Amino acid sequence: MTIATVGVVGLGNMGLGMAATLARKGFTVLGYDLSPVRRPAAEAAGVTTLNTLNEVLQAADALVFSLPLARDVEAVVTAEGGLLSRTDRKVVVVDTSTSDPGTTRRLAERLAAAGHALLDAPVSGGPSGAAEGTLTMMVGGAEADYALARPVLEAMSARAPHVGPSGAGNIVKLVNNLLVAAHLVTTGEALRLSEAAGLSADEAVKVVNTATGRSAISEVMVPRWVQSGTFDSGFSAGLMRKDVRLALELAAECGIDLPLSAEVKRIWQATQDAIPDTADFTRMADYRDPKGAH
C-alpha cells in the first residue's frame, strides 16, 4: 500500500518543518492548523493548506500530527466525520506529539477497530531538525504499521528506530526529556559554581565538553542558545514543564519513587514567574534565583 499524499495536522515550529521536508522529499503534502497565520509559510514551502481538519483527514494516505497535548491528539483522531469514518484505505497516523502512553494505547485500539493505525513517534532535534529532515524519532506501535509508514518516517528523520509496541515511543521521549530537564538545572548550577569560584563559565564548559560531565546540554544548548544569549531553540518552557509532569505521572502509575526527578519538577514549577511558559526552555540553564536558592 503506497503513500503518496501525507496530511500534516499542526503547523507550528515542528509541524511546519516536517511538512516542508516531506514536500521537498516528493510527497504531496496537505496541511491544517487552527491558526490561519500559519498558512502563508506552509504554502511557500510547497504545502497545500486546507480550510478544515476533515478535508485533510479524508484525503491523506498517511497523517502526521504535531500537537501540543494528548487531548488535542484525541480530539483530532475522534473528530466527527473524520478519520474514524474512512473505509477507503488503511491510514497510518504518525503522532509526533509528546503524549502519555495510556492515551496513545487507547487511541491506537480505537483506530485499529476502524481499520487504521497509530504510531507514537515523538521526536528530538528541534525545529532545525524538522526543517532539515534530521530528527531522531522514537517509534512505538505494531511492526507491520511501522513498515508501512517507513517512507514517511525516513523522509523526516536521520534515525527512526522501532522501540516497541504502542506507547513505547512515548515512554522513551518522556525518559529523554526528564533527563534534559534535569541536565539544564545541573549544568546551570555547575557553571554558576565555576564562576563563583573564579573561573568563567565559558572556560569551564570547554573542558567539561572534553570530559565525562558533558551532555547535549553542555555541548549544544549552552554554546548555541545560552552563551550566545539568543534563547531561541524553538521549544518552550511550558512544553518542558508538561513533559516533566507527564514523566512523574507515569512514575506514579508505575508505583516508583523518583526523588531527584520530583525535585527537578519542583524547580521547573517554582521558576514559572521568572521563566514563563512562553519563554525558551534553555533559559533554565541561565536562571539565577535572586533569593539564593535555585
pLDDT digits (tens, 9 = 90+) for 236-270: 999 999 999 999 999 999 999 999 999 999 999 99
Could you tell me the fold of the domain covering 5-165?
Rossmann fold (3.40.50)
How much is the pLDDT for 290?
Answer: 60
CATH 3.40.50.720 intervals, the chain: 5-165
Q: Amino acid identity of 190? A: A
How much is the pLDDT for 1?
Answer: 78
Rg, C-alpha atoms of the chain = 20
pLDDT digits (tens, 9 = 90+) for 200-238: 999 999 999 999 999 999 999 999 999 999 999 999 999
Bridge-based pairing state of the strands 135-137 and 123-124: antiparallel
Distance CA(144)–CA(292), nearest Å, equals: 54
Contact call for residues 277 and 240 (beta carbons, < 8 A): no
Q: pTM of the prediction?
A: 0.92
Average pLDDT over residues 84-88: 96
Distance CA(171)–CA(193), nearest Å, equals: 33
Distance CA(147)–CA(135), nearest Å, equals: 18
Secondary structure class of 181 (helix, strand, coil) = helix
- Residue 173 annotated among the catalytic residues of the structure: yes
User: What does the DSSP assignment read for 70-90?
Assistant: HHHHHHHHT-TTSGGG--SS-
How many angstroms separate the Cα of 63 from the Cα of each of 83, 107, 111, 255, 265?
10, 14, 13, 35, 33
Query: Side by side, which strands form the sheet with 62-65?
Result: 48-49, 28-32, 5-9, 62-65, 92-95, 117-120, 139-140, 162-164
Structure-model confidence comparison of residues 170 and 290, the more confident one? 170
* Assigned superfamily of 170-286: N-(1-d-carboxylethyl)-l-norvaline Dehydrogenase; domain 2 (1.10.1040.10)
pLDDT at 292 over 80: no
Task: Give me the percent of the chain exceeding a pLDDT of 70.
Answer: 98
pLDDT digits (tens, 9 = 90+) for 153-191: 999 999 999 999 999 999 999 999 999 999 999 999 999
CATH 1.10.1040.10 intervals, the chain: 170-286
pLDDT at 50 over 70: yes
Distance CA(84)–CA(91), nearest Å, equals: 10
Average pLDDT over residues 82-98: 96
Q: Which of 173, 206, 242, 265 is catalytic?
A: 173
pLDDT at 289 over 80: no
How much is the pLDDT for 269?
Answer: 97
Query: Taking all residues of the chain, what is their mean pLDDT, rounded to a whole number?
Result: 96
pLDDT at 141 over 80: yes
Of the pLDDT bands very low, low, confident and very high (cuts 50, 70, 90), residue 49 is very high
